[in-house]
Amino acid sequence: MKSEMQSFSDIAAKVAVRSLIEEVELTPKPGLVDQVNTGAHQDLTLQLMIKSAETLTDTFKNIAFVSYGRNPSQALREEIAAIGRIGERKMFEATGGVNTHKGAIWAIGLLVSAASIGKGRFTIKEIVKRAGEIASFPDRHCPNTNTNGRIVTLKYGVGGARGEAQQGFPHIMKFSLPMLYRSRAYGLTEEKARLKTLLSLIAHVDDTCILHRGGTEALMFAKKKAAYFLTKDNLECINTLDEEFISRNISPGGSADLLAATLFLDKIHALKAVDEVQKYELIK
Ligand SMILES: CC(C)(COP(=O)(O)OP(=O)(O)OC[C@H]1O[C@@H](n2cnc3c(N)ncnc32)[C@H](O[C@H]2O[C@H](COP(=O)(O)OP(=O)(O)OP(=O)(O)O)[C@@H](O)[C@H]2O)[C@@H]1O)[C@@H](O)C(=O)NCCC(=O)NCCS
Ligand SMILES: Nc1ncnc2[nH]cnc12
């Protein structure tokens, strides 16, 4: 018989991987890999993204396992960072060196850890707060490499993936989750609700993936266009936005990761209300 800790870790990992797959399968997404095209990416495909997501199951499971019932601390920060780095290595092995989910391992890894600290009983607010606390401990073993994110956060003075997590995921709490809930309440299909959720992120996030490729001009363009398309009822016109992003080499990869993180929080919250047997049914 599985312990509660093992069951929660299995469930959290399944929900995390499912969220990544649902993000990549959502279509049409501007500039991103989806079921129709590979967006502004020459080295990514839908199949590669799905393969990458599936290789991360053990990473999320191990993060949940070591975090279960603990408190945020320097020691926990370092344990999950070590697991996260092994996850990054596995991702690069699976993709032949292409960065598919580095930002997602970071964001969802922290959220999995925080949800597990609460043994699956935390509210979303408590989860993001704990995730922010863990992310704020120094990463003493971080390799001193010049990542795209690091170069760009220094150059443009933005927070990037690190800042987003350390502040308790403000773009999820202020924009994407409220947009997902509002769109569902308004009666939109789940697909349209998720597309609006993604647009709400692109309209506000300082995405280091966009900044690194095209600087502030590209970031401003992406934010303005996403805000404009958010006012449209007919979301089929996102195809036009996709073409514009592709022609300008704009990829909102950070927003894609935050969409997956939003879906993770939504699902893990919904699972709180059901019993163990139903949980396995729901995540099958
Ligand atoms: C804290 C880390 C995330 C490292 O951060 P850093 O800023 O040093 O590094 P990057 O290596 O650039 O990775 C950051 C990824 O975060 C995503 N992102 C970007 N902006 C935001 C934002 N505002 N909020 C949240 N997330 C954001 C983004 O991911 C997407 O972009 C990927 C493609 O990016 P890139 O490789 O630059 O690709 P291309 O444009 O195609 O580049 P070229 O090929 O042209 O070079 C895409 O896949 C999306 O995923 C950034 O990639 C963290 O990794 C870390 O410190 N980890 C250590 C382990 C740890 O502590 N783990 C803890 C828990 S698991
Ligand atoms: N769907 C997607 N396309 C490109 N980069 C991504 N990073 C995370 N999700 C992505």
Name the residue with the closest Cα to ligand 1, atom 61.
81
Ligand index nearest the alpha carbon of residue 149? 1
User: What per-residue confidence (pLDDT) applies to 279?
Assistant: 66
Does position 282 have pLDDT exceeding 70, yes or no? no
- CA–centroid distance, residue 200 to ligand 1 (Å): 20
284 band by pLDDT with thresholds 50, 70 and 90: low
DSSP the chain: ---HHHHHHHHHHHHHHHHHHHHHH-SS-TTS--SS--TT-SS--HHHHHHHHHTTHHHHHHHHHHHTT----HHHHHHHHHHHHHHHHHHHHHHTS--SSHHHHHHHHHHHHHHHHTTT---HHHHHHHHHHHHHS--TT------HHHHHHHHHT--HHHHHHHTT-HHIIIIIHHHHHHHHHTT--HHHHHHHHHHHHHTT---HHHHHHHHHHHHHHHHHHHHHHHT-S-GGGHHHHHHHHHHTT---HHHHHHHHHHHHHHHHHHHTTS-HHHHHHHH-
Whole-model pTM: value is 0.96
Encode pLDDT of 141-166 as tens digits.
888 888 999 999 999 999 999 999 99
Encode pLDDT of 39-55 as tens digits.
999 999 999 999 999 99
Interface pTM, i.e. ipTM:
0.96
251 lines ligand 2 (CB under 6 A): yes
24 lines ligand 2 (CB under 6 A): yes
Does position 176 have pLDDT exceeding 70, yes or no? yes
